[in-house]
Amino acid sequence: MTIGVYPGSFDPVTNGHLDIIKRSASIFDRVIVAVTEDNNKVNLFSLQERYHLLREVTGNSHFENVSVEMFSGLLINYVREKEASAIIRGLRAVSDFEYEMQFALMNKKMAPDVETLFLTTSTEYSFLSSSIVKQVASLGGCVRGLVPPTVEDELILKYKNKKGGR
Ligand code: PNS
């Protein structure tokens, strides 16, 4: 049984992420989408919220062999614990490459038997990131078609509450 781990902060999950998850699910017997608290980032959604959104948007028949989990600490330890053979990462543009290469090589150094598999993003999502979605949504712009509808609703709610709280 081949297991792939697709890690990320998913703050929030976008249609670009979903595309990578869907494609990974046809390569591996099982895909674990692994969401973590990234200590170097201030996230809009809590870890629990990001986990629940991921569960919701992968909860249909397209994603039968996909599960969502939370992890903390070093990714490579988690990957070993799950007995996965590969880490899956999406590559959008050259700008992603340097960081992703460093990330992959460091993980390879710690666990030579675990591969990193890069999937190039589908063209329609090549410009898409959680950050740009948040920026647009925070300023009242429309993100329909870029994130699943439930995520769009949560973004609107989040920024409405933030404004209300000021
Ligand atoms: O979606 P992101 O924010 O680009 O994902 C980055 C993430 C969370 C996958 C990465 O920061 C990570 O693996 N964090 C866990 C801690 C870790 O293992 N760091 C060393 C990586 S070489």
Question: How do residues 37-90 score in pLDDT, each as one tens digit?
Answer: 876 789 999 999 999 999 999 998 889 999 999 999 999 999 999 999 999 999
CATH code for position 22: 3.40.50.620
Residues 88-141 have pLDDT tens digits of 999 998 888 999 999 999 999 999 999 999 999 999 999 999 999 999 999 999
| Domain-embedded: residue 48 | yes
CB of 103 shorter than 6 A to ligand 1? yes
The answer as to whether 142 is a domain residue is: no
Residue 130 annotated as catalytic: yes
What is the domain count for the chain?
A: 1
What's the full length of the chain, in residues?
166
Question: In whole angstroms, what is the distance from residue 45 CA to residue 81 CA?
Answer: 26
Catalytic residue among 23, 52, 92, 158: 92
Is-contact 51 17, C-beta < 8 A?
no
Q: What is the pTM of this model?
A: 0.95
Q: Where are the alpha helices (DSSP H) in the chain?
A: 15-25, 47-57, 75-81, 94-110, 130-138, 149-165
Residue 38 CB less than 6 A away from ligand 1: yes
Q: Which residue is closest in CA terms to ligand 1's atom 22?
A: 103
One-letter identity of residue 106:
M
Measured by CA distance, the residue closest to atom 10 of ligand 1 is 8
Residue 71 within a domain = yes
Range of the domain at 46: 3-126
Q: Does a structural domain hold residue 140?
A: no
If you count DSSP H runs as helices and E runs as strands, how many of each does the chain have, helices first?
6, 5
Residue 135 belongs to some domain of the structure: no
- Ligand 1 centroid distance, CA of 71 (Å): 11
**Is residue 64 in a domain?**
yes
Has 41 been annotated as catalytic? yes
Considering the domain boundaries, does residue 159 fall inside one?
no
- For residue 17, is it within any domain? yes
Check if 37 has its Cβ closer than 6 Å to any atom of ligand 1. no
Strand 30-36: give its sheet, edge to edge.
Answer: 66-71, 30-36, 3-8, 86-91, 115-120
